[in-house]
Structure 1
Amino acid sequence: MNLRLIMLLGAVLLVFVAVFGLQKLQSEGLNDFLDNMPIPAVSVSVAEVEPMNWANYLAAVGSARAVNGTQLTTQSAGLVTEIRFNSGDQVKKGQILLLLDDDTDRSELQALVAAAELARADHERISRLFDQGSVSKADLDRAKAQADQTRGQLASQQSRVSLKTVRAPFDGTLGIRLVNVGEYLAPGTAVVSVQQLDPIYVDFNLPEQQLSQVHLGQTIEAGFDAWPDQQFEGTVTAIEPAIDRGTRNFRVQATLRNGDQRIRPGMFSRVALDLGSADDVLAVPQTAISYNPYGNAVFVVVEKEEGEGLIVKRRFVRTGRTVGDFVAVVEGLSAGERVATSGLLRLSNDSAVEISDELPLEPSLAPTPNNS
C-alpha cells in the first residue's frame, strides 16, 4: 500500500511539473514574440519646407469708430409737436429734426421784444436830453442799464426758444427714432443717434516696443467679419502720444474711405499695418509644429539607413510669425526637407511612417473658412 501511494504521488507531481513547464515555455515564447514584433508604420501626411516671401506688417485688432457720432437729446422739456425725419435718413448740418411746443416761450419772447424796444427808445430819448443838459448823468446811466438788461433778457429768452428745436449737428446718417409726436420729453431725453460714416476711423492698439515702426501716412488693411472676402485700405492719421501704463500699449488711429457705408461704428476689425518691406522665410504648415513647454518641435521624414522605408526624426525648431495656415521657422530646418503634418500624437523619435494616400488639406496664406 505504501509503495502504491508513493508511486501515485510521484505521478501527480510529474504531471504538475509538466503543466507548469509548458506554461512557462508558452509565456516566454509569447513575450519574445511581442518584444520582437515589428511596429506597424504610422500613416502621416507630409509637407515640404518652403521658401516664401512674406510682406512685413504688424497685426492688431481694432474697432471702427465714427468721425462724428452722437446720441441727440433734448436740452429743454416740452411736448413733441412735429418730427421732421425718418429713421435712417441722411441729414445735413443744421437741418431741423424735431420741434417741441414753444407757444408759451414765444409769448414771453414777444413781450420781451416789446420791452427791449421800449427800453432802447427810452435810452435814446434820455441820451438826447442829457446832451441838452436837461437830465442828470444818473438818469442816463439808469436808462442805459435798463436797455442793457432788457436786451439780455431778450437774448436769454431767444435761447430758450431755440432749445425747443432739435437740429442735426453735422452731416450724417440717422439711426432709429426713439420718440413720438405728442410725447412729453424731459431734458436729456434721447431722440435719435446720428453718425458720420464717411470717412470712418479704425482704432487699434500696438505694444510700446513697436512705436518706432509706426508713423503717420502708413498704409493699413482692415478686414471685417461682415465682409470676409474684402479688405479695406486706409492710412494712419493719428498716433496717441502717451503709452497706457496698465497695458504698455499705445493707440493708433487710421482713416478709411467708406462711401458705400459698409463699415459701421463698433465693428470688430483685424488690422495689418504695412511696414513697407518683405521678409524671406522658410515656412511649414502650422499643423507640423508640436508645441511643448520645453520647446517647439517637428518630425522630419527621412529614409531608413538600413533599408527601404521611412522614419521620422524629432527636431526642435525656433518659430517666427504666422501668416494664414503657415508658420515661419527661424532655425532648425532647411528648404526642401519634409515634415509630418498629421498624426503627430502617435509619433516618437525613429517611428516608422508611411505617407498617406489621402489628399491632405491644402494650407493657405489667406484662409477663408466656411463657417456656415
Structure 2
Amino acid sequence: MIKRLIIMLVACGLLFGGIFAYKAVGNHFMNQFFDNMPAPTVTVTATTVSTHPWREQQTTIGSFAAINETQLTTEASGIVNDIMFDNATSVKKGQLLLTLDASVDEAELRRLESVAELAQLELRRYQRLFRDKNISESELKRKESEAKQAIAAVDSQKARIEQKSLTAPFDGIIGIREVSLGQLMSPGTAVATLTSVTPIHLNFTLPEQQLSTLKNGQTVSATISAQPDEVFTGTVTAISPVVTPSSRSVDIQATFDNPDAVLRSGMFARVSLDQGEETQNVLLAPQSAIQFNPYGNAVFVIQEQDDALTVQQRFVQTGARRGDMIVIKDGLQSGDRIVTSGLLKLRNGSNIKISDNERVQPSEDLDPNVVNQ
C-alpha cells in the first residue's frame, strides 16, 4: 500500500514537473522571439532646421477706437421735418443732417425783427431830440437799452431756430438712424452715432518692464481677423505717464492713417512692436517638434543607418517663440532634420518613415492667423 502511494506521488511529481518545464521553455523562447523582433516603423513628419532673420518683438492684443465718436442728439423739441442722411454713409463737418419743424419759431422771429426795427426807429428819433436838447440823456439811454434788448431778442430767437437743425460736428461715418419723419422729439433724443475713421487710434497695454524700449514715433504693426493676410502699420503717439497698479502695465496709444476706412472702432487686433533695430540670424524650429519637459526640452533628430531612418533624442536650449516657431539657442545645427509630429510613439533608435502628405505637416508660420469658417 505504501509502495503504491509512493509510486503515485512520484508520477504526479514527474507530471507536474514536466508541465512546468514545458511552460518555462515556452516562455523563454517566446520572450526571445519578442526581444529579437524588430520594432515597428513609425510614420512621422519632419523638417530641416535652418537659420532665419529675427528681430526681437513684443506682441500683445489691442482694440481700435475712434478719435472722435459721439451720439448725435437734438438740443430742442419738435416734430422731425426732414432727414438728410442715409444710413452708414460719410458726412462732412457742418453738413445738415436733420431739421425739426420751426414754423412757429420763424413766425416769432419775424415779430421780434419788427419790434427791433421799430426800436431802431425810435432810437434814431430820440437821438435827434437829444441833439436838439429836447430830451434828457437818461431818456436817450433808456431808448438805447430798449433797442439793444430788441436786437438781443432777435439773436436769441435765431439761436433757438438753429437748435431745430442738426449738423455734423466732424467728418466721419454716420450710423443707423434711430428717428423717423414726423416723430416728436424731446431734447437729448438720440438720432444716430457719428464716428470718425480717418485716422484711428489703437489702444493696448504692455508690461512695465517694456517701458525702456518704448518711445513716441515707434512703428507698430497690427493684423485683424477680417483681413488676416494684411499688416497695418501705425506709430506710437501716446504713452501713459502712470502704471496701472493692479496689472503693472502701461497704456499705449498708436495712430493709424486708415485711408480706406478698413479699420473700425471696436475691432480687436494682434499688435507687434519691434524691440531694437538689429536683425539677427537665428536657428528656428517648429514648436510642434519640441518635447517640453521639466528636466529639459528635447527633439528627435533623424539619422540614416543601414539604408533606414532612425531617431535619436537630443536635448536643446530654446529661446523666444513667435507664431509656430521657436528659437533654438543650443543643441542643433543648421541642416539637422528633426521630427515634427508623432513624437509620442518614438524612442531612441526607433525606425521611422517620413510622410510626404502636406495635409498632416504642422504649420511653420511666424505669423499664423486663425481663419473663421
Q: TM-score, normalised by structure 2?
A: 0.82
2:324 alignment partner in structure 1: 325
Check the 8 A contact 2:52/2:283 in 1, yes or no.
Answer: yes
* Equivalent residue number for residue 352 of structure 1: 350
Which of 335-344 and 233-242 deviates more?
A: 233-242
Deviation at 1:161, TM superposition (A): 1.7
Say whether the 8 Å CA contact 2:175–2:194 is kept in structure 1.
Answer: yes
Q: Counterparts in 2 of 1:83-102, with a 5 A limit? A: 83-102=83-102
1:105 aligns with 2:105: yes
Residues in 2 aligned to 1:243 and 1:150: alpha-carbon distance in whole angstroms: 57
Matches within 5 A, 1:44-55: 44-55=44-55
List gaps (5 residues or longer) in structure 2. Answer: none
Instruction: Confirm whether residue 340 of structure 1 aligns to residue 321 of structure 2.
Output: no
DSSP 3-state at the match of 1:87: coil
Aligned to 2:70: 70
Give the Cα–Cα distance (whole angstroms) in 1 for the partners of residues 297 and 354 of structure 2. 24
SS of the equivalent of 1:269 reads strand
Larger CA deviation: 211-220 vs 130-139 = 130-139
Count of residue pairs brought into register by the alignment: 368
Task: Quickly say closer, same or farther: Cα 1:169–1:371, change in 2 above 3 A.
Answer: closer
Instruction: Give the CA RMSD over aligned residues.
Output: 3.4
Match for residue 12 of structure 1?
12
The residue that corresponds to 1:279 in the other structure is 280
How big is each residue's C-alpha offset from its partner over 1:191-249, in whole Å with a ceiling of 9 and x where there is no partner?
A: 12223333333333333333333333333333222223323333334444443333312
Identity, % of aligned positions:
39
Deviation at 1:188, TM superposition (A): 1.9
- Written as runs of structure 1 = structure 2, the 5 A alignment for 1:137-156 is 139=139, 142-156=142-156
SS at match of 1:177: coil
- Secondary structure, aligned partner of 1:76: coil
- Matched residues in 2 for 1:370 and 1:155: separation? 60
Match of 2:301 in 1: 300
Per-residue CA deviations over 1:246-274 (Å, capped at 9, x if unaligned) read 3312212122242x333322222223334
Tell me by how many angstroms 1:297 deviates: 3.0
2:284·2:328 contact (CA, 8 Å) conserved in 1? yes
Tell me if structure 2 keeps the 8 A contact 1:232–1:256. Answer: no
Query: What is the Cα deviation at residue 315 of structure 1?
Result: 0.3
What is the match of residue 290 of structure 2? 289
Q: CA deviation at 1:74?
A: 1.6
* 2:210 aligned with 1:210: yes
Moved more, 155-164 or 24-33: 24-33
User: 1:120 and 1:185 mapped to 2: Cα distance?
Assistant: 37
Q: For residue 336 of structure 1, what is the amino acid of its counterpart?
A: G
Inter-partner Cα distance in structure 1 for 2:13 and 2:298 = 60
Distance 1:82 1:309 in 2: 80
